[in-house]
Structure 1
Amino acid sequence: MSSRAGNRIQRLENNDWKFMHGDFPEAETPDFDDSQWYDIGLPHSFGIPYFMTNEFYVGYGCYRKKLYVEKEWLGKRISLEFQGSFQDTQVYVNGCLAGSHKGGYTAFIVDITSCVHEGENQLFIRVNNLWNPRLAPRAGEHVFNGGIYRDVSLIVTQPLHIAWYGTRVTTPEVSKETAKIVMDTEICNEAENAAQCRLVSRIFREGEEIGRVCSALNVSSGDTEIVSQEYTLCRPELWHPDHPNLYVLKSEIWEGERLTDSCETEFGIRWFSFSADTGFSLNGEHYEIHGANVHQDHAGWSDAVTHTGIQRDIAMIKGCGMNFIRGSHYPHHTYFAQECDRQGILFWSENCFWGTGGPKEEGYWTASGYPVKEEDEEEFEQSCLQTLEEMIRTNRNHPSIIVWSMCNEPFFSDIEVMEKAKALVVRLAELSHRLDPTRPAAVGGAQRGGFDSLGDIAGYNGDGASIFIDPGFPNFVSEYGSTVSDRPGEFMHRYQDGVEKNYPWRSGKALWCGFHHGSILFDMGHMGMIDYYRLPLNTWYWYRENLLGIQRPALLQEGIPFRIHLAADRTEISSDGTQDAHIIVSVMDEQGNRITNSPEVVLEVVSGEGMFPTGKTFVFSPERNNFIEGLGAIELRSYYGGDTIIQARSGGLLGDRLCIHVTGSVKPENRQLKELQPPPYLQGAPERKQLSNISLNRPVFCSSAHKEHPGKNVTDGSFNTFWYPAEEETGGWILVDLEGTKEVKSITLEFNAVMNGVYELALSDDRKEFRQIYLAREGDANSFLTVHLSSERARFVRVRFPGEAVGIVKIEVMA
């Protein structure tokens, strides 16, 4: 995919890369022999093929590619744009270090002008995903596969040009009658002489020009000018999830009669507000937000997701009747927000200052969210500020984005640095206001530690919805309903723990979570309403039936398998790394009905250059947890044109074939490709040195609570607070959610008075079935209890009082 506007060239460079796991600094030289390296295309992940394991490749990966420079480009600015590379990247051209970037989730640009020459040039990109105490995120429950996992483009411009993502469109005054459009354009002059030029800004709607503004300016050599222009539009077609109307701004720089640069910016016209009393309003009307959190990785391909994969994800969230996505918990591909604009989904774009519960040991992504060593603080804070700035600059024109979020659960930091973590959130919010005063700065995951009052909107996770009732400032349930479940799952909603009722002061709610995803924690990734292969669980069908009125599919039965059926969401894709085909495999009986029998099925590319994440074959089976109730799916892509023929076979059954046509140049006849192999080693969390309190600041739920003694007190780490049930309650209980299955070694209870009545300590995996591990009988007087366990896995810890309860100071779970 390439585009040419005026004298600007923008061309995808996703094809024809060489890659090898490991560190090869000597490969920067043009004459390095990379013949034994793998032939790959972008987007690419170190971990391919990756299927939700807790372990993943950690180390270096190196990329090489030939880049051809045309003679007429000399004297112009030549740059490489990276939409995302995780997470420490160095870019060499012809042995010259052209630039570097730290941070794994935002787009960046590298000027390679001084390093290139006419003809063939050698690119060498050196990337590592090593945990870095000074780089955000220091902690998170996702996986952190490295690699150039988003698109790379070549950009060629004249010395006088519009800066990279240099247009900003705002609509400070909007009504249903008129809209004031403000266009700020950043113009750079890197020529030797001053430039007398004109900026012409043209506004289009559905291909028709509807407005134009022209400004004359003089840009000195070496300077950058920001030109502000205004246009008033009558009867604007407003952007809304129900009618996502978009406009296009075409920005042109003219020197005399010569067009020197041009770029296009999609934007929408809308206004919105968050209120402490009335929630969220869009275009002057109250609007109920209901959506889901979305991680970015897909089965087999890990984080290396195509544009069509992003399209499918957004369409599936909207397809069950939801209208909102929280980008958990890092900036997503800029195409993600663009697609939210087009499909009509509100988007919460989040920075990657992140914390996670559990052990706080340096060296891995379970560390303290904020640095524990003073020498790491300044660089870490700069990392968070830089990522926020890059996220806002590259996404600021998207009407779907209604929130910039500073963080997620930053209170999962060591208590000694908690005040510094709070100060950083304040600093981030102030920067967000300076960079974009048109959107609020949210604090995601703010249910502990007083973080909720530090921004414009508080995002409450877990038990936050039940704790913070009408808090007096704009608020949102940024996570609810986390439930471990695999396909098919139960046909039911996940409204629980404070979101069962809608309140006028609450702006909305987001399910945890939309899709299964990779996680460094045991089963944290199995909480989606859609599985890793992008097939819905019954929960998704429940939401669709109840939000859209579309009845769920008829229940299927086992039968006599007769044949395998293949289908795809598209039968034509491009070879530039932006498109793939979602292949669906199902088992049919002789009458053509789908049945739930699940034999092993092998997919094979029998001709053509298409590939699965595992290469030319992919195996479905119940044992691999990828073929359930006679249904499975996987994504196929190709980096060369031509027809790809896929064959499905299963012992004793009729097979099927499917043709995917790939547009683009075909593979040279004599070229032999070296197929990518799995990474040479995997790395999980380092061996723990000592037991840790994994219940600290975890969600807490209870049968009731005294107003002054809420349930959250049992996990706040303080001996001065405690939980107490509502007066005269009998049969009360309190439950700690460890947010995923953990290996529990011991549990300690501390009461605020001597307890000589009956109580039960129990564990559960699903909050439905509990197994008793301790029962105190009448007369067993104590105020302190520790139960040691040999080998117990559990997610929930519950204390239940059949009779009268006493207060509990703490529930401490060690693992």
Structure 2
Amino acid sequence: MRKHFQRIKPVWAGLVMTCVALFGADLMAAEASGRERLNFDEGWLFLKGDPKGGAQPGFDDSAWRRVDLPHDWSIEGPFDKDNPSGPSGGYLPCGTGWYRKVFHVPEGDEGRRIFIDFDGIHMNGEVWINGHLLGKRPYGYLGFGFDLTEHLDFGKENLLAVRVDNSLQPASRWYTGSGIYRHVWLTSTDLLRVERWGTRVTTPKVAKERADVVIQTAVVNGHEEGRGFELVQTVIDAEGTARGSVSSSVELSAGERREISQQLVLKHPRLWSPDAPNLYQVRTELRQGERLIDRYVSPLGVREVKFDPDRGVILNGEGIIMRGVCNHHDLGPLGAALWDDALERRLLMLKEMGCNAIRTAHNPSSPELLHLCDKLGFLVVNETFDEWRRGWAFEDGKLVSSKSNKGKAKYGYNRLFDDWAERDLTDHIKRDRNHPSVIMWSVGNEVPEAQKHGELDTLKWLKALCHDLDPSRPMTVGCNFIAGANESGFAGLLDLVGYNGGGGSCFQYEEDHERFPERFIYASEVPHSLQTRGEYRTRSRYREPEHQPAHLTEEEVFPETHPRYESSYDNAGVRISSRDSWRLTRDLPFVGGEFRWTGFDYLGESGGWPRVIGNFGIIDICNFPKDTYYFYQSQWTDEPMVHLLPHWTWPGKEGVEIPVWCYSNCDSVELFLNGESLGRREFTADQDMHLQWMVPYQAGELKAVAVKDGKEVAVSRTTTAAEPSRMNLSADRSVLSFEDRQLSYVTIRIEDEHGNFVPKAAVSVGLQVEGPGRLVGVGSGDPLSHEDFQGSTVTSFNGLALAIVAATGESGEIILRASAEGMATEQVRIAVEEPSAPSELSAADRVLDNR
């Protein structure tokens, strides 16, 4: 097919290159008569608006904008207090948009089936081919596809048109983005083929010596007569070596669909875990003699997971605590548009922090997230719904739910649940059930149906559906107000019970373990602590004051902190601090782990204008870590580290006692101010997981020296800065591959004349790109900033700003220049690799898996 799809270039290859690295390049090449799966992201036309006739081939689209997918038009802004998305959607615009693409199908492909697959359209995606309506999918988080074959003009140009309607707002409790925001694929198969998401691979028995691999395969015969074939299935290891194979002779009558079960033994398997994410693949082939009819590849990770009510999670025979985060799907300045490279960056940052688990809050993720979690080693709580039919309401100051209070968001999923929940959950489980990273299915988050006046029949129905589609994994729900879920019987129907913090659920672990000894308990959304990078208060501030910790000082040391910013001392939040929450999880052996809210700041759920960002993350939206990142690193990793807070530039506070905190995983830390020791502090079993000194402020250098086993192993310094004098630009990637759709994240750091970081600097920076590159996002992490994420100007927030650069397709050198008033212009150079010849089919054009 490649020579006939000249408009499809190798523009996306990150995941494919991962597959090549894992399984060998020879496995990526499809034989001529087998399945082909082509990336279909490039060369679309887009219009924001709702013109009549946009689906018809003769429609004039000459004025439409050319875009490459994935694409999110909402992130283009502008922010506006009056945008109907409101605080939930970050005050960004939504509306309706259209996409069109013309492509050519060769006459030689007659007799094959041609499918279009969308990994995600938000929302209400309607698809036409050559003016024929194929269908609609309302839910924006699940992929869907259509068979194009009957409406294609073989040997001629064909028009694919997509209408996206995200106009009814608010449609969610967080920022969703608008558009075709995930990848699109064109797939060509024989009429005899493996069904979409047609394999289910399980390992019911796992031991050191062997693993039993059971493969159930749905095969469809689309021919008008019967067909016989050989079903051959092979387990391939990471080096590309066949480790086991099984085959059967099968006969299917015309139009028949059948599920076929086969089993093989994998000897001495390499087990999958977060510390050793060993991967295999199952290669399914339909063959007639030497002829390959279809080839379909599924991921396989061999692991055994048990959920013990007393011991927590047992993975491959050993206890493991889930050290997790919840994350929404946006990528900060990039919006909801999926850049695989940006997503992998985020996961690597979490891995470096010691995180080993992800909860996909509160919707199905992109397929790429699951592939990356398989590859990097993350346990995944895979969540489908944020809401069912009901929302929250209060009567006489008490929380209730009622049918008259429909949904959490005015135009949210509650309007779709009765018509679409079964299909959406079914597709979600079929899509993701072969990923070793997925360890449980979550069918809801804080649903009012869990409470006293709940709907247990709905839960029973969803539970039965989960067990039918995937008997190998348990079902769960993230429950707030757990007392109500206990009383209604809701919690007792769950396989695993997720405790969200709401309603004080995070304080009921011990009581409920005693009352319900057979219950497996884990913290599905705890803690909800708040931090704004580089901002501090010594007076604690909680949304629920009854849980508020003690103030650090009698009088506020930092009264200048903006009221809409939050303190980075871990003394701002909802009901429990990061330290107190982790202490419970760490010290109670029956708690399986915790998923804090959240790993990264996210767009929307802002709490009201002028704030546009949810400020719960331990990393801000520009990937700059906050102080709490280092708290988790001190608890979740072994590599010696030490971190000091706050910064040490406080002019006008001379002599004022400032609480100096230190996070470390070492035995003790000694603090120095301008070379003079302020004493050594030791970590003890009952201490608060941080060290503190009260230090009268004076300008200079504050230094922490960490000691482990009697040796100095780590140092943290913070130095008083003078006025902003210059910019320091650093690119995290100095060479880009356009084919791999790589990005370079350029950090703009504001310094004084001596090179010291200026922690409160707010400098307006103009950006200019020369050469074969473009700016795809800028930002600062400031929750109150309304600057355009897609602009060429950014104001540093607390000394830092970010520019994200992508290649445009040609080789050469990109130069990013940054200028600011009163400062010398700075630049960074980024090389772009030579692209492959467009006439050749590279691995970037094909990916064979069951997404």
Query: TM-score w.r.t. structure 1 length?
Result: 0.75
1:657 aligns with one of 821, 828, 839: 828
CA distance in 1, matches of 2:427, 2:737: 29
Residue identity opposite 2:820 in structure 1:
S
RMSD: 2.8
The answer on 1:456 being equivalent to 2:495 is yes
**Corresponding residue for 1:54?**
90
**Corresponding residue for 2:650?**
none
CA distance in 1, matches of 2:531, 2:794: 20
The answer on 1:180 being equivalent to 2:212 is yes
The Cα offsets for residues 354-391 of structure 1, whole Å up to 9 and x where unpaired, read as 276568997985349885xxxx6xx6234222221111
CA shift in 2, pair 1:200/1:434, >3 Å: same
Contact 1:516/1:528, CA 8 A, preserved across alignment: yes
CA distance in 1, matches of 2:67, 2:625: 30
Please state whether the residue corresponding to 1:239 is helix, strand or coil: coil
CA distance in 1, matches of 2:167, 2:307: 39
CA shift in 2, pair 1:88/1:160, >3 Å: same
The answer on 1:603 being equivalent to 2:767 is yes
CA shift in 2, pair 1:414/1:382, >3 Å: farther
**Corresponding residue for 1:494?**
578
1:5 aligns with one of 25, 30, 38: 30
**Corresponding residue for 1:26?**
53
User: Cα offset for 1:592?
Assistant: 4.9
CA shift in 2, pair 1:608/1:99, >3 Å: same
Residue identity opposite 2:522 in structure 1:
F
Please state whether the residue corresponding to 1:75 is helix, strand or coil: coil
Please state whether the residue corresponding to 1:611 is helix, strand or coil: strand
**Corresponding residue for 2:236?**
204
CA distance in 1, matches of 2:423, 2:807: 35
Percent of aligned pairs with the same amino acid: 29
Please state whether the residue corresponding to 1:179 is helix, strand or coil: strand
The answer on 1:630 being equivalent to 2:671 is no
1:230 aligns with one of 248, 263, 273: 263
2:444 aligns with one of 401, 407, 413: 407
User: Cα offset for 1:217?
Assistant: 0.6
User: Cα offset for 1:126?
Assistant: 0.6
Please state whether the residue corresponding to 1:293 is helix, strand or coil: strand
Please state whether the residue corresponding to 1:336 is helix, strand or coil: helix
After superposition, residues 174-323 of structure 1 pair within 5 angstroms as 174-206=206-238, 207-323=240-356
Please state whether the residue corresponding to 2:333 is helix, strand or coil: coil
**Corresponding residue for 2:430?**
393
**Corresponding residue for 2:137?**
101
CA distance in 2, matches of 1:34, 1:406: 42
Please state whether the residue corresponding to 1:103 is helix, strand or coil: coil
Contact 1:195/1:255, CA 8 A, preserved across alignment: no
The Cα offsets for residues 640-665 of structure 1, whole Å up to 9 and x where unpaired, read as 34444322112232311332526658
CA distance in 2, matches of 1:305, 1:322: 22
CA shift in 2, pair 1:358/1:301, >3 Å: farther
CA distance in 2, matches of 1:220, 1:559: 81
**Corresponding residue for 2:471?**
437
CA distance in 1, matches of 2:424, 2:36: 27
The Cα offsets for residues 581-606 of structure 1, whole Å up to 9 and x where unpaired, read as 32222224555554434422122223
User: Cα offset for 1:236?
Assistant: 1.0
Please state whether the residue corresponding to 2:249 is helix, strand or coil: strand
The Cα offsets for residues 699-751 of structure 1, whole Å up to 9 and x where unpaired, read as xxxxxxxxxxxxxxxxxxxxxxxxxxxxxxxxxxxxxxxxxxxxxxxxxxxxx
CA shift in 2, pair 1:656/1:336, >3 Å: same
Stretch deviating more after TM superposition (49-58 or 139-148): 49-58
User: Cα offset for 1:340?
Assistant: 0.6
Residue identity opposite 1:406 in structure 2:
V
The Cα offsets for residues 15-60 of structure 1, whole Å up to 9 and x where unpaired, read as 1111111222401111211122222121111302257863232331
The Cα offsets for residues 291-342 of structure 1, whole Å up to 9 and x where unpaired, read as 1111111223221121111111211222111211111000000110110111
CA shift in 2, pair 1:346/1:446, >3 Å: same
**Corresponding residue for 1:505?**
590
CA shift in 2, pair 1:114/1:579, >3 Å: farther
**Corresponding residue for 1:538?**
627
Contact 1:197/1:254, CA 8 A, preserved across alignment: yes
**Corresponding residue for 1:525?**
614
The Cα offsets for residues 80-118 of structure 1, whole Å up to 9 and x where unpaired, read as 111111121111111111232221111111111112222
The answer on 1:419 being equivalent to 2:454 is yes
CA distance in 1, matches of 2:121, 2:76: 18
Residue identity opposite 1:637 in structure 2:
A
The answer on 1:550 being equivalent to 2:641 is yes
Residue identity opposite 1:334 in structure 2:
P
Structure 2 unaligned regions, length at least 5: 1-9, 14-27, 80-86, 395-400, 536-567, 571-576, 644-715, 778-787, 839-851
CA distance in 2, matches of 1:577, 1:430: 41
Please state whether the residue corresponding to 1:27 is helix, strand or coil: coil
User: Cα offset for 1:124?
Assistant: 0.7
Please state whether the residue corresponding to 1:244 is helix, strand or coil: coil
Contact 2:721/2:757, CA 8 A, preserved across alignment: no
Query: TM-score w.r.t. structure 2 length?
Result: 0.72
The answer on 1:645 being equivalent to 2:688 is no
Contact 1:351/1:388, CA 8 A, preserved across alignment: yes
Contact 1:30/1:95, CA 8 A, preserved across alignment: yes
CA distance in 2, matches of 1:119, 1:588: 59
Contact 1:131/1:365, CA 8 A, preserved across alignment: no
CA shift in 2, pair 1:229/1:55, >3 Å: same
Contact 1:485/1:528, CA 8 A, preserved across alignment: yes
CA shift in 2, pair 1:412/1:587, >3 Å: farther
**Corresponding residue for 1:15?**
42
**Corresponding residue for 1:797?**
none
User: Cα offset for 1:573?
Assistant: 4.0
**Corresponding residue for 2:520?**
474
Stretch deviating more after TM superposition (556-565 or 511-520): 556-565
Please state whether the residue corresponding to 2:225 is helix, strand or coil: coil
User: Cα offset for 1:574?
Assistant: 4.6
User: Cα offset for 1:557?
Assistant: 3.6
2:174 aligns with one of 131, 142, 156: 142
CA shift in 2, pair 1:58/1:585, >3 Å: same
Contact 1:559/1:589, CA 8 A, preserved across alignment: yes
Residue identity opposite 1:445 in structure 2:
C
CA distance in 2, matches of 1:394, 1:662: 34
CA shift in 2, pair 1:517/1:387, >3 Å: same
Please state whether the residue corresponding to 1:612 is helix, strand or coil: strand
Please state whether the residue corresponding to 1:203 is helix, strand or coil: strand
CA distance in 2, matches of 1:438, 1:445: 23
CA distance in 2, matches of 1:8, 1:498: 48
Residue identity opposite 1:271 in structure 2:
E
**Corresponding residue for 1:740?**
none
CA shift in 2, pair 1:78/1:495, >3 Å: same
**Corresponding residue for 1:66?**
102
